[in-house]
């Protein structure tokens, strides 16, 4: 069983950071990898041609391992989730009468690209509304999602857990239903991959896109994406020379090459060598793999469970355990409690959380300990 890893982070003792779904702190080894990478640029003569490609390949292998994808060439480096999703959308054909299914209040990076595609082609976005019930809401939302997918559905774009309140979506069931109607399954894993197990071999998404600066414990302006076979012959949103066959031969680059490197290479962002971000993210993924994603999820579950019970005792409402993440969950405030006073009290106690979809969003990680939840309780107890 994992123990608290706070010693690897430089969070001050008076800060209770329960907000990884906003942005993770950098683990010390990741911070160091960043400094070392910055220093290298002071000696550009030491940055050689293999340095453009080999660290990226290593990073792809680490991410492939994290999501259990057998072929690291299916992984692409993206600068953001919106970019990774836009590469998908550019390669989806849709026509009048057809639809794309998304869940209510899906993160905008996974909405606007689909909105443009559907609008420009006379198609429809079907938004699966969050049920207006508190008891059994996650289960009902999942049922609605499956019911909404029909024979006109071209793609289902969903997260594994909802970014605003941690509601869990049963991706295996969605895959099954999507297969029945021949729809694509496109997953935004930003708020789950790294803290909740994700198995590409089992779920078989057509694409999975993850920002790096939250649960992958990496830097900003960086993300990892997996593209399945259905995108093998697609058109990328930019034409990086690095993605062409033989791009390692710098003396030969203007003998223009028309073939891309295999699988998902064509979807790599330009300048994907990212000399600072790549070693940082590789170091972060090594740490996560060493800890084990399942262990991270269990740690968050065991840590939060007794405090969640106490919060429920105070009148807070939370999704049932089976339909929410343990690393990310929303607490709806008791009717009598004013949101602004909660915001103020938590900050006064040094507790950092977010407020999304009308709920307090709590997202712990291995640097958290009981003390952090004690502080949260102290902050809200006086308000109920």
Q: Which residue, 107 or 169, is less far from ligand PLP as judged by CB?
A: 107
Q: Which residue, 66 or 345, is less far from ligand PLP as judged by CB?
A: 66
SS (H, E, C) 133-180: CCCCHHHHHHHHHHHHCCCCEEEEEEECECCCCCEECCHHHHHHHHHH
Compute the least distance from the CB of residue 223 to ligand PLP, in Å: 6
Q: Which residue, 186 or 337, is less far from ligand PLP as judged by CB?
A: 186
Q: Which residue, 188 or 206, is less far from ligand PLP as judged by CB?
A: 188
Strand segments, DSSP code E, in the chain are 16-17, 75-78, 99-103, 124-128, 153-159, 184-188, 207-211, 223-227, 329-332, 351-352, 354-356, 359-362
Compute the least distance from the CB of residue 189 to ligand PLP, in Å: 8
Compute the least distance from the CB of residue 107 to ligand PLP, in Å: 4
Phi, psi of 131 (to 5 degrees): -60, 145
Q: Which residue, 155 or 380, is less far from ligand PLP as judged by CB?
A: 155
| Angle CA 167–84–360, to nearest 5 | 25
d(CA 361, CA 358): 9
* Contact by Cβ (8 Å): 367, 15: no
Burial 71-87 (b: 16+ CB within 10 A, else e): ebbbbbbbbbbbbbbbb
The binding site for ligand PLP (CB under 6 A) comprises 80-82, 107, 109, 159, 163, 188, 190-191, 211, 223
Compute the least distance from the CB of residue 38 to ligand PLP, in Å: 23
Q: Which residue, 35 or 112, is less far from ligand PLP as judged by CB?
A: 112
d(CA 57, CA 77): 10
């Amino acid at each position: 069983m994992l123990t608290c890893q706070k010693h690897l982070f430089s969070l001050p003792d008076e800060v209770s950071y329960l907000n990884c779904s906003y942005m993770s702190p950098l683990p010390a080894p990741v911070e160091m990898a960043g400094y070392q990478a910055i220093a290298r640029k002071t000696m550009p003569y030491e940055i050689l041609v293999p340095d453009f490609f080999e660290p990226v390949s290593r990073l792809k292998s680490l991410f492939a391992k994290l999501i259990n994808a057998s072929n690291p060439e299916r992984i692409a480096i993206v600068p953001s989730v919106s970019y990774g999703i836009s590469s998908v959308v550019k390669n989806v054909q849709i026509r009048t009468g057809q639809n794309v299914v998304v869940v209510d209040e899906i993160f905008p990076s996974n909405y606007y690209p689909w909105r443009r595609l559907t609008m420009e082609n006379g198609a429809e976005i079907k938004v699966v509304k969050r049920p207006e019930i508190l008891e059994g809401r996650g289960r009902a939302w999942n049922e609605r999602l499956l019911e909404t997918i029909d024979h006109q559905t071209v793609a289902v774009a969903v997260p594994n857990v909802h970014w605003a309140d941690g509601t869990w979506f049963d991706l295996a069931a969605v895959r099954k239903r999507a297969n029945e109607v021949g729809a694509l399954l496109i997953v935004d894993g930003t708020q789950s991959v790294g803290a909740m197990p994700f198995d590409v071999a089992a779920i078989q998404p057509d694409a999975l896109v993850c920002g790096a600066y939250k649960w992958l414990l990496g830097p900003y302006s960086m993300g990892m994406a997996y593209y399945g076979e259905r995108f093998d012959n697609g058109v990328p949103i930019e034409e990086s020379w690095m993605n062409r066959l033989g791009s390692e031969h710098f003396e030969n680059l203007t003998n223009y090459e028309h073939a891309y490197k295999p699988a998902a290479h064509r979807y790599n962002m330009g300048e994907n060598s990212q000399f600072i971000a790549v070693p940082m993210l590789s170091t972060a993924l090594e740490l996560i793999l060493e800890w084990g994603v399942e262990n991270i999820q269990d740690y968050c579950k065991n840590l939060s469970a007794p405090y969640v019970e106490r919060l429920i005792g105070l009148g807070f409402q939370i999704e049932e355990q089976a339909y929410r993440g343990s690393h990310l969950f929303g607490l709806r405030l008791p009717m009598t409690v004013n949101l602004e006073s909660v915001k103020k009290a938590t900050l006064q106690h040094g507790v950092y959380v977010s407020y999304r979809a009308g709920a307090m969003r709590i997202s712990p990680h291995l640097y958290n300990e009981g003390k952090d939840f004690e502080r949260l309780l102290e902050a809200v107890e006086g308000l109920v």
